[in-house]
Structure 1
Amino acid sequence: MTLPRILVVDDEPQIQRFLKPALSAAGYEVIEAATGAQALKALATQAPDLVILDLGLPDMDGKEVIASLRGWSQVPVLILSARDRESEKIAALDLGADDYVEKPFGIGELTARIRTALRHRARSEAVPSLIETDGLCIDPVRRLVTRNGETLHLTPKEYDLLLLLARHAGRVVTHRTLLTSVWGLAHGEDLHYLRVFIGQLRQKIERDATRPQIVRTEPGVGYRLWVDG
């Protein structure tokens, strides 16, 4: 059995010394890079299944690595960084990162995010006809949404919003991505507009809209559709 291969891109030796044995024990093959240039070379030659990427690299910003990579690969990228500014997270996610974890971090949280990203990649490659979570079923072919077999009546915009989140299930989707994809470029900054529609959508799809379990808020960044398993 071939182990999933993870490329860890970080110039802090202590992070590499901690992550390699921890991820190996969790069942992953680990390869390492300390610079953006080394990372791009490893991506091209060693075909990792997932990348853990620090934004603060000695030769280039990690966002440059994402931008370069997304020109030719859709490998999942998980940001691991001490930068806690929302603008940094949003910029990395908008460039194509799949998720982020802030330093300091726990290995349990990190491996959970890795599993989610790898599952999302598998689902994307399989192109599922149905998306199911917490009793909710989304059928993109029939444009039908049901909960426990009962049809839910969504407006066209509510459906488009839910489908976009579902197609990126398990990943953070930024406010700007949601707004421009569903309403167009002119609405890229209309956060109040988005919050209203998210509230309406939760009223229809959640068991308890005051404690949402399906569409979860990533404060200051965007939303994530939670998937079972």
Structure 2
Amino acid sequence: MVIAGEPDLAELLVTSLESAGYRVGLTGTAAEALARLGAHRFDLLVVDTTRPDLTGVDAVGRPVIAHRPPVLYLASYDFLDRLLPEIDLGQKDYVTKPLRVPEVMARMRMLLRGAAPGYGDLVLDDTLRRARRGTRDLGLTPAEYRLLRHLLDNADRVVSKEQMGRYVWGDRRGDNAIEQLVSRLRRKVDREAAALIHTRRGFGYWLGSEHGEG
């Protein structure tokens, strides 16, 4: 997620990141960013330090943010001595202005390598597009990886078959196609381990710990 109030800066970052294959969320205020962090998982925050509402935001956000992503600050030289943990979410790094997009990308990749998305012993590597459960490589196909990534992004929330089809293939697919894909993914993810992928009959599927209906 990009937190940038300057329209030109926001457009540059979003365009560059989307062209590189990243899925990007954009917000102009820290308060809105914290609200979105409380509702969704993000792998990385890119924060423009010129935002006037950054100070003190951590006190508001700390109780509601379960997943704390790494942060890449975009800072001017005279701001570097003030990079205090106002948003103390995870690993931190910075890039000085004026921005050089290749440097931003390089710093992002370093932070993302140190914060691989996962759930319990399930870990995904978005750089190599690989997933493992414990020490076992899952050997996922591209469609299986995209589906698992979407379930992980929405961990502990039910995802409908229609949502899955749009995310995995970019269009609506029949229920049978989704069910077959989920079945193949389940066999790989949940083999020889506690089940992480579950069915909510009549609604869809979800990823998480299950102590009731499967």
TM-score, length basis structure 2 = 0.47
Specify which structure has the higher proportion of helix. 1
